[in-house]
Amino acid sequence: MKKALFAALLVALTLLSACSSGSNGQPGKTEGNKSDGNKKLVVGVTYTTLRHEFFIDISKGVNKKAEEEGISVLSNDPNLDLSKQVSAIEDYMQKGVDALIVLATDNAGVIPAIEEAKSKGIPIITADNVVDSDSVDTFIGTENYEAGKLIGDQLKKKIEADGKEATIAIVTWKQSFVQKERLRGFKDALADVKGVKFLNEQPGYNREESMATVENIIQANPDVSYIFATSENSVTGSLAALESANKSNIQIVGFDPTPEAADGIRNGHIYALIQQQPQLIGEKAIEAALDAINGKQLEKNISIPVVLLDKSNVDEHFAK
């Protein structure tokens, strides 16, 4: 009797062990859950800032995809402060996050922190801003040089069709590597166009600064034909300045449309804009983090396509 009871108990324990193990005998692991099966995966995200609509939209994509996958997200807004971003990464390491998503405030200054995180076995996903380090598993975002070239090619066609000289003002945030790449592509596209003159780059980090900059530009340079605005805030600030001055002979080209900028396209103050897909960037960043956690090999560069927006298609993307 005792032998029979012992045998039955042994069989029960064997079955229980089999139910709690994967096919290789290791603890069960599901997509989106830690290997102990009880604790959610945790991804630490540090943004460049969360004061701009573009980055807010990226965060929406991150949170949407993370919720779908059952992943917990820790978020940090250093608001362009490298030291705060580094502190956040160090904090994430202490908390033992399963992966890091970094939208660098300084693509060189952040390297030591992400290399330390990588040395601890934490996958590193970068988004929006390229970080040149072997510790990065993948970059996800817009090819900013190519996007700048695309908007430059669009303006090139117009200038050549008009057959007139063109003076182009530039409103940009000079500290941004991303915006430098956009400007480099834009200028390269127009390099061989006769009669094109570029004014010196002028500051345009936020809407207010951009508006003041353009007000000064149009007063000092009455022959300006176009304004290249390298970001959402420089676009809306430039638009506000042109509308305030009632300048219909100057048009804006640039990046990151908003509903206000869409109206600017409709009324002719804006000729064309590059629309990125920030929510998709956020979603793909979470997908990549999950793949890296699960041991999948990632492509080093995951490009997110852009859309060229002008009067012909603005209503498809922004309701009136």
C-alpha span between 218 and 214 (Å, rounded): 6
**171 pLDDT exceeds 80?**
yes
- Percent of the chain at pLDDT > 90 equals 87
Q: Are 272 and 310 in contact (CB under 8 A)?
A: yes
**23 pLDDT exceeds 70?**
no
Write down the mean pLDDT value for the chain.
90
Q: What is the pLDDT of residues 115-138, one digit of tens each?
A: 999 999 999 999 999 999 999 999
Q: What is the pLDDT of residues 98-115, one digit of tens each?
A: 999 999 999 999 999 999
What pLDDT score was predicted for residue 29? 33
- pLDDT band at 161; cut points 50, 70, 90: very high
More confident residue, 185 or 10: 185
Q: DSSP label at 105?
A: S
Q: Supply φ then ψ for residue 232, to 5 degrees.
A: -55, -50
- pLDDT band at 9; cut points 50, 70, 90: very low
Name the CA radius of gyration of the chain, rounded: 25
Q: Could you count the other beta carbons within 10 Å of the beta carbon of residue 36?
A: 9
What pLDDT score was predicted for residue 37? 55
**Structure tokens, 108:** 């060189």
**DSSP code string of 14-67:** HHHHHHTB-TTSSBP--TTB-TTSSSB-EEEEE-S-SSSHHHHHHHHHHHHHHH
Q: Supply φ then ψ for residue 139, to 5 degrees.
A: -115, 140
What pLDDT score was predicted for residue 86? 98
Distances (CA, A) of 257 to 97, 166, 202, 232, 233: 34, 23, 20, 6, 9
**4 pLDDT exceeds 80?**
no
Instruction: Classify the phi-psi angles of 172: left when phi > 0, otherwise alpha if psi is within -120 to 50, otherwise beta.
Output: beta
Q: DSSP label at 229?
A: E
pTM, to two decimals: 0.84
What pLDDT score was predicted for residue 39? 82
Q: Could you count the other beta carbons within 10 Å of the beta carbon of residue 5?
A: 9
Average pLDDT over residues 215-244: 97
Residues in the chain: 320
C-alpha span between 180 and 157 (Å, rounded): 23
C-alpha span between 226 and 253 (Å, rounded): 7
C-alpha span between 256 and 84 (Å, rounded): 26
**169 pLDDT exceeds 70?**
yes
Q: Are 128 and 306 in contact (CB under 8 A)?
A: no
Q: Are 169 and 226 in contact (CB under 8 A)?
A: yes
Average pLDDT over residues 246-267: 97
**Structure tokens, 110:** 């952040």
Q: Are 227 and 214 in contact (CB under 8 A)?
A: yes
- Give the distance, in angstroms, between the CA of residue 143 and the centroid of all CA atoms in the same chain: 10
Q: DSSP label at 141?
A: E
- pLDDT band at 54; cut points 50, 70, 90: very high
Q: What is the pLDDT of residues 192-211, one digit of tens each?
A: 999 999 999 999 999 999 99
What pLDDT score was predicted for residue 10? 38
